[in-house]
Amino acid sequence: MRNLVRQPQQERSIEKKNRIIEAGYQLFSEVGYYGTNTAEIAKRAGVSTGIVYGYFQDKRDILICVLELYINKVFDPFLRLFDKLTPPIDFEILIPKLIEQAIKTHKNNRKIHEALHSLASSDEAVNAQFIALEDNITLKISDKLSKLEVNIDNPLEKIHFAMDIIQSFSHEYVFDKHDYIDYFVMKEMVVKILKDLFN
Amino acid sequence: MRNLVRQPQQERSIEKKNRIIEAGYQLFSEVGYYGTNTAEIAKRAGVSTGIVYGYFQDKRDILICVLELYINKVFDPFLRLFDKLTPPIDFEILIPKLIEQAIKTHKNNRKIHEALHSLASSDEAVNAQFIALEDNITLKISDKLSKLEVNIDNPLEKIHFAMDIIQSFSHEYVFDKHDYIDYFVMKEMVVKILKDLFN
Amino acid sequence: MRNLVRQPQQERSIEKKNRIIEAGYQLFSEVGYYGTNTAEIAKRAGVSTGIVYGYFQDKRDILICVLELYINKVFDPFLRLFDKLTPPIDFEILIPKLIEQAIKTHKNNRKIHEALHSLASSDEAVNAQFIALEDNITLKISDKLSKLEVNIDNPLEKIHFAMDIIQSFSHEYVFDKHDYIDYFVMKEMVVKILKDLFN
Amino acid sequence: MRNLVRQPQQERSIEKKNRIIEAGYQLFSEVGYYGTNTAEIAKRAGVSTGIVYGYFQDKRDILICVLELYINKVFDPFLRLFDKLTPPIDFEILIPKLIEQAIKTHKNNRKIHEALHSLASSDEAVNAQFIALEDNITLKISDKLSKLEVNIDNPLEKIHFAMDIIQSFSHEYVFDKHDYIDYFVMKEMVVKILKDLFN
DNA sequence: AATGAATGAGCCTTCATTCAT
DNA sequence: AATGAATGAAGGCTCATTCAT
């Protein structure tokens, strides 16, 4: 009965909803989920506190939408790297591009990545959303690869794990910056591993 | 004067401080950092609310100590796997053991891992602590390997990245459980990658 | 200028105002005054939120109108029981009928009765309205009785108090249901008391 | 886990809890349950907002305690009227005393009575508490009467209903004050009815 | 006359931290 | 050193009412 959330149909409404998501995105990035309050989100979105609850069930619901936005921001440019390819794929060229893209993304999304991941661990819905979106990515890439005539064993496992490795390396590269690590060397390692995986 | 935190010298005090850290560890694991309040920590540690602030500056300070405990709980059994080895190392045997250990650890530390990582992203001190402890691990393993007469190029990069891969896979294995992934296959992939890396 | 409330003249408007009152009646009955919000009333009435304030000054104003509707719904069937009577009145028959009617009414108006009464206690206007409507009832019944050639001392006091007793018993009967009370016995008590009062 | 409410053992704590209840009592009386906020209750009780939730689960929990206080304030003087009696009871004398007491009580508790009753209708716990306390009263009076050698049929039904009648009349007398009612006459009616009931 | 999106004050509740004992 | 009651600021959310259309 209560708590019905408007499904915005009109453009102005959709735009306003997006402004709120964008504001949430920024603030969660800057100070994390728990460091952000709804009033602040509303303020940055240029709307009133109340209307936020016209578009979202609660604060966590904003997070879920931010998560979707994040995934798109992160994976769309990633997927687009496959778009102009024609068989046969030259992994020697593709893989470094993918890594570069992942690094770029990580730089642009420093904090939100962890913010979202951490929420996933304590919130089943966020976690489910995360898994669903990851599934989506893996399957899309798999689809693209098969259209590009890449025929390998266990493609889903390989793709999924390759993504993990790339994420992991990008994270290292952007965030941790240990003194004793030569990241150029490490990157070459990753490239080699991935090439071996897909050839 | 006011904010001085006791450096517990006497054994009873040290033991009490450790009980608080252990309680924090448990609760952060169970319900995360923001799902835990200090009263609860005190209660589980069997001390009064007030005295917590005798041993710790604030709640975050507990987290920092929990982080150290966590790292030890996670990496000590890992390091111990190297202890009884004699050269030459059979990576064919060692690597699966390391992976098994990582999975076991992940299972026992489901939530705290994310809790800590997420805090790291929004808290510079936590992050610094994290990096320092990772450094420590990498260097220790490197030391062990060289004593075991393993001579490879770029050992630090390889060790660090190998740890990343193992963490990443364990995480997959314990948390996400995508339907379409055959985790046995994936595990074999990881083993092969690591063997190639160290041979 | 601002706060002027339309006095609906046209039939369509009057009908709409009544729909709002009816919706308020239902919702106040179901979840009480404070459990109901104006948006919900508008929705159930099939009108927009805004227009409610075209017909009513504020939420309390709706309550006042609901009160009137309530009194009518409650007392009209009550009064109608006197309509077909011809002198001399057989109280032995009438009184049980009145009680039955009161019980029926109570059952159909479980919550709104208390909702209205409680508002009366904190709101002078509601209270005044309540008293005025009760006066009206008492005088109407008195009128009917005298037309039915019932000549008793202090008719107004007796009628008013009889109504109180009936209300009180019906309330007991419908709401409280104490285990140790035999409500059939109690009902007979009420019938006897009222018979004695009017003979 | 959370939300544990202190069971105050020490006198100072008990006194503080009582101060909060008394403050709630006053405010609910003055402006009703929904017209009162917890900050106001705390302020009037001379405590901080937070500590209220150290003694009570939530706002409603305060209401429940206020209800108990109310019942005691109302019924204790009522019950005490039976204390000095010796058999045989002269109802001619007792009944007017009871009525006087009920009127006095009503005057001193103008608004809270309705406030509580209305909450009962929308809150099962409050209602249950109400019923339990009414039961208690009825049984206590029954006990007293039997010790005073009053032997009547259906004592519980009679007592309960007599209480209803007295409440009802007192309410009329104190609150409604209809112009056309001679309350002296009405009171005599009540006395007579009750005498007939218990003889 | 009508819509329903928008406003923003206000409320209940929590909790890190302090303080009297 | 220790207790645990007390503080009070802050946050999520609701809803009566207004306003642009």
CB D145 within 8 A of CB D88: no
Chains C and B touch (3+ CB pairs under 8 A): no
Low-confidence stretches of chain D (pLDDT < 70) are: 1-12
Q: What is the DSSP string of D76-136?
A: HHHHHTTTT--SSP-HHHHHHHHHHHHHHHHHHTHHHHHHHHHHHHH-HHHHHHHHHHHHH
State which residue has its Cα closest to the C1' atom of E5.
A51
Q: Which of C113, C138, C182 lies at the smallest CB-CB distance from D157?
A: C182
C160 and D178 in contact (C-beta within 8 Å)?
yes
Cβ–Cβ below 8 Å for D131 and C176: yes
User: Do the beta carbons of residue A148 and residue A85 sit within 8 Å?
Assistant: yes
Q: Which of B7-11, C41-45, C183-187, D60-64 has the lowest mean pLDDT?
A: B7-11
| pLDDT value of position C1 | 42
What is the spatial distance, in angstroms and rounded to an integer, between the CA atom of B109 and the C1' atom of F14? Answer: 39
C83-121 tens-digit pLDDT: 888 888 898 899 999 999 999 988 888 778 877 877 777
The answer on pLDDT for A159 being more than 50 is yes
Structure tokens at C81: 């029981």
Question: C87 preceded by cis ω (within 30°)?
Answer: no
Question: What pLDDT score does D188 carry?
Answer: 93
Query: Residue C119 and residue D118: Cβ atoms within 8 Å?
Result: yes
Q: Give D179's contacts in chain C (Cβ within 8 Å).
A: 135
* Closest by Cβ to C161, choosing from D154, D167, D186: D186
Question: Quick check: D16 CB within 7 A of strand F?
Answer: yes
- At position D29, the amino acid (one-letter code) is S
Read off the pLDDT of each residue in B102-118 and give the average, rounded to a whole number.
82
pLDDT of the residue at D8: 54
Q: How far is B51 from chain D (nearest CA, A)?
A: 19
- What does the block give as tokens for C132? 């005025």
- Residue A22 to residue C126: CA distance in whole angstroms: 48
**Å from the D50 CA to the E7 C1':** 29
Q: CB–CB of A120 and B114 under 8 A?
A: yes
Max CA separation in chain C (angstroms): 60
Rounded to two decimals, what is the model's pTM?
0.86
Tell me how far CA of residue A74 lies from CA of A80, B10, B78, in angstroms.
11, 52, 33
Contacts of C40 in chain A (CB under 8 A): 1-2
Q: Which amino acid is at B167?
A: Q
For chain A, the chains sharing at least 3 beta-carbon pairs closer than 8 angstroms are B, C
Which residue has 């010796």 as its token pair?
D86
Q: How far is the CA of C125 from the C1' of F21 (A)?
A: 36
Nearest nt to the CA of C54 via C1' is: E1
Taking the C1' atom of F7, which residue's CA lies nearest?
A: D48
Q: A52 pLDDT band (50/70/90 cuts)?
A: very high
Give the CA dihedral B149, B154, B156, B162, nearest 10 degrees. Answer: -90
Q: With beta carbons under 8 A apart, name residues in chain C contacting A2.
A: 37, 40
Residue D172 burial class via C-beta count within 10 angstroms: exposed 0-12, middle 13-18, buried 19 and up: buried
The reply to whether C148 touches chain D by the CB within 8 Å rule is no
User: In chain A, which residues have their Cβ closer than 8 Å to the Cβ of B176?
Assistant: 131, 134
C and D adjacent (3 or more CB pairs under 8 angstroms): yes
Q: How many whole angstroms separate alpha carbon A49 and alpha carbon A56? A: 11
pLDDT for the residue numbered C6: 64
B27 versus A179: which is more confidently predicted? B27
Nucleotide nearest to C60 (CA to C1'): F16
Q: How far is CA A119 from CA A67, A107, B117, C9, in A?
A: 10, 20, 11, 57
Residue C111 CA to E12 C1' — how many Å? 25
Cis? peptide before A88, omega within 30° of 0: yes
pLDDT of B78 > 90? The answer is no
Q: Work out the average pLDDT over B175-180.
A: 80
CB of C38 lies under 7 Å from some atom of strand F: yes
For each of the domains in chain C, give its residue range(s) and CATH number, in order of start.
65-198 (1.10.357.10)
What's the whole-number mean pLDDT along residues A61-69?
Answer: 93
Q: What secondary structure letter does DSSP report for B98? A: H
| CA–CA gap between residue C135 and residue A140 (Å, rounded) | 77
Q: Where do the H-state alpha helices sit in B10-123?
A: 11-31, 38-45, 49-55, 59-80, 91-108, 110-122
- By C1' distance from the Cα of D16, the closest nucleotide is F5
Q: Has residue A192 got a pLDDT over 50?
A: yes
C40 interfacial to chain A (CB closer than 8 Å): yes
pLDDT of residue B18: 96
Identify the residue whose Cα has the smallest distance to the C1' of F11: A37
What nucleotides of chain E have any atom within 7 angstroms of a protein Cβ?
1-20
Q: Which of residues 1-20 of D touch B (CB under 8 A)?
A: 1-2
Q: Which residue of D has its CA nearest to C109?
A: D121
Neighbours of A52 (CB within 10 A): 23
- Identify the band that residue C122 occupies on the pLDDT scale cut at 50, 70 and 90: confident
Restricting to A residues 166-185, those with a Cβ less than 8 Å away from any Cβ of B are: 167-169, 172, 175-182, 185
Cβ neighbours of B179 in A, within 8 Å: 135
Q: Which residues contact D157 (CB under 8 A, 6 or more apart)?
A: C181, C182, C185, C186, C189
Q: Is the CB of A149 under 7 A from strand F?
A: no
Q: Say yes or no to pLDDT of A128 above 90.
A: no
pLDDT of residue C143: 93
Query: A152 vs D7, which has greater pLDDT?
Result: A152
Question: Cβ A114–B115 below 8 Å, yes or no?
Answer: no
Write out the H or E segment, with its range, that includes residue B3. none
Q: Does D117 touch chain C (CB under 8 A)?
A: yes
For tokens 């005498």, the residue is: D195
D96 touches strand F (CB under 7 A): no
What local confidence, expressed as pLDDT, does residue C4 receive? 58
Residues 6+ apart with CB under 8 A from C130: C67, C116, C117, C120
Is the model's pLDDT at B84 over the cut of 80?
Answer: yes
Confidence of residue A2 (pLDDT cuts 50, 70, 90): very low
Average pLDDT (B58-74) is: 91
**Ramachandran region, residue A177 (left: φ > 0; alpha: ψ -120 to 50; beta: rest):** left
Give the C-alpha separation, C132 to C128, whole Å.
Answer: 6
Q: What is the pLDDT of residue A7?
A: 65
Nearest CA in chain C to A3: C40
Q: How far is CA A60 from the centre of its chain?
A: 17
Alpha-carbon distances of B195 from B94, B141, B191, rounded to whole Å: 10, 16, 6
Q: ∠ at Cα D108 (D106, D112), nearest 5°?
A: 75
Chain D nearest-CA residue for C168 = D164
B37 neighbourhood in chain D, CB within 8 Å:
2
pLDDT band at A1 (very low <50, low <70, confident <90, very high): very low
How many B×D Cβ pairs under 8 Å?
Answer: 3
Whole-number average pLDDT of chain C: 88
Q: Which of C106, C93, C95, C81 is nearest to C168 (CA)?
A: C106
Q: How do residues C35-92 score in pLDDT, each as one tens digit?
A: 999 999 999 999 999 999 999 999 999 999 999 898 888 888 988 999 888 888 898 8
CA-nearest of A82, A81, A80, A74 to A103 is: A74
Binding partners of C (≥3 Cβ pairs within 8 A): A, D
Q: Does nucleic acid strand F have an atom less than 7 angstroms from the CB of B136?
A: no
pLDDT number for residue B1: 43
Nucleotide nearest to D13 (CA to C1'): F5
Pairwise CB contact (< 8 Å): C31 & D122: yes
Strand F closer than 7 A to residue A3 Cβ: yes
Mean pLDDT over B163-182 rounds to 87
A147, A153, C18, D177 from A143: Cα distances, Å: 6, 14, 61, 83
Tokens of B9: 């010298």
Helix, strand, coil in percent for chain C, rounding step 5: 75, 0, 25
Distance CA C38, CA C70 (A): 19
Which of helix, strand or coil describes residue B5?
coil
